[in-house]
Amino acid sequence: AATERGIIVTNTPGAMTECTADLAFALILATARHIVAADVYMRAGQFTGWELFQPHLGVELAGKTLGIVGMGRIGTAVARRAALGFKMNVLYTANSPKLEAEKELGAELVSFPDLLRQSDFITVHTPLTPQTRHLFTLNEFRQMKPSVIFINTARGPVVKEADLVQALEQGLIAGAGLDVYEAEPKAHSGLAPLPQVVMLPHIGSATTETRRRMAIMAAQNVVNVLGGQGPINPINL
């Protein structure tokens, strides 16, 4: 509609790469170590002293395999954190090999079914398209390890949320960290009662640095167009 009316539409690509990668990793850590449940436990006054088998026993990241679905800017930023910062093995799916990431990070391109079967953590960084809508259903969750932790900071409808709830309730997967939902602003009612789920209100870009970059890029696009120059980031030209 905008194109038909001669209206230029722009966006702010790359502005939220690092902050979204940070948040994805925050969710990985929070779910792996039961951070939110442990915080609630402490605030409720239930902590009575150190125990060998504590109720919030988690898992380490080093040596584990992270499966990245969608190896664009954000997926690559997550891979860099995983491989270099946490000594994780990285598998990924993409339309084409990411040779730089493979060389720098030891990342390995695999098929989607292989990624589902081999990963200890799975994080989603794919755009929402007709092909990726409901990419994750009960069928996909059944192919994962029962110990897997599933992270989605991409787009909510990539996951069939009712199936995710069922997979968690049945123990098909161990946990989930979510920043996006299928029918935002609402989340499936079955998610909130599950202690193995960390839920955030779509805060992937919510840092002062990111919002500043977004504002500057948007303003520069406006200045360029008003000044007779082409926009920096057009999406309909």
Give the active site residue among 155, 161, 182, 213.
155
pLDDT tens sequence across 120-175: 999 999 999 999 999 999 999 999 999 999 999 999 999 999 999 999 999 999 99
Report pLDDT for 230. Answer: 87
The distance from CA 151 to its chain's CA centroid, rounded to whole angstroms, is 5
Give a yes or no: residue 9 inside a domain.
no
For the beta sheet containing 175-178, the strands, ordered from the edge strand earlier in sequence to the opposite edge, are: 108-109, 89-93, 65-69, 121-124, 149-152, 175-178, 197-199
**Residues 192, 122 share a domain:** yes
Of 60, 100, 169, 184, the catalytic one is 184
Per-residue pLDDT for 53 more than 80?
Answer: no
The answer, yes or no, to whether residue 196 has pLDDT greater than 80, is: yes
Considering the domain boundaries, does residue 1 fall inside one?
Answer: no
Residues 129 and 217 grouped into a single domain = no
Same domain, 192 and 211: no
Mark whether 193 and 213 lie in a shared domain: no
Residue keyed to tokens 């994805």: 24
For residue 124, what are the β-bridge partners? 69, 152
Domain assignment of residue 229, given as a range: 207-237
pLDDT at 144: 99
The residue-averaged pLDDT of 16-40 equals 97
Residue 48 lies in a domain: no
Residue 3 within a domain: no
Answer yes or no: is 47 within a domain: no
Residue 58: band (very low, low, confident or very high) from pLDDT cuts 50, 70, 90:
very high
pTM value is 0.93
Q: Where are the beta strands (DSSP E) in 55-148?
A: 65-69, 89-93, 108-109, 121-124
Report pLDDT digits (tens) over 63-116: 999 999 999 999 999 999 999 999 999 999 999 999 999 999 999 999 999 999
108 lies in the same domain as 219: no
Based on the fold, state whether residues 138 and 22 are members of the same structural domain: yes
pLDDT at residue number 132: 98
> Distance from first CA to last CA of the chain, Å, rounded?
13
**Cα–Cα–Cα angle for 230, 231, 237, rounded to 5 degrees:** 80
Within this chain, do residues 132 and 224 fall inside the same structural domain, yes or no? no
The separation between CA 235 and the C-alpha centre of its own chain, rounded to angstroms, equals 24
CATH of the domain at 93: 3.40.50.720
Percentage of the chain lying above the pLDDT 70 cut = 100
Give the pLDDT band of residue 186 (cuts 50, 70, 90): very high
Q: What's the structural domain count of the chain?
A: 2
Give a yes or no: residue 10 inside a domain: no
Is 102 annotated in the active site? Answer: no
64 with 165, same domain: the answer is: yes
Same domain, 116 and 212: no
182 in a domain, yes or no? yes
Residues 190, 171 within the same domain: yes
Beta bridge partners of 195: none
> Catalytic: which of 73, 117, 202, 211?
202
Residue 5 located in a structural domain: no
| 184 annotated active-site | yes
Is a pLDDT exceeding 90 seen at residue 51? no
- C-alpha closest to that of 154 among 221, 72, 57: 72
Active site residue 188: no
Residues 183 and 88 in one domain: yes
Residues 110 and 218 in one domain: no
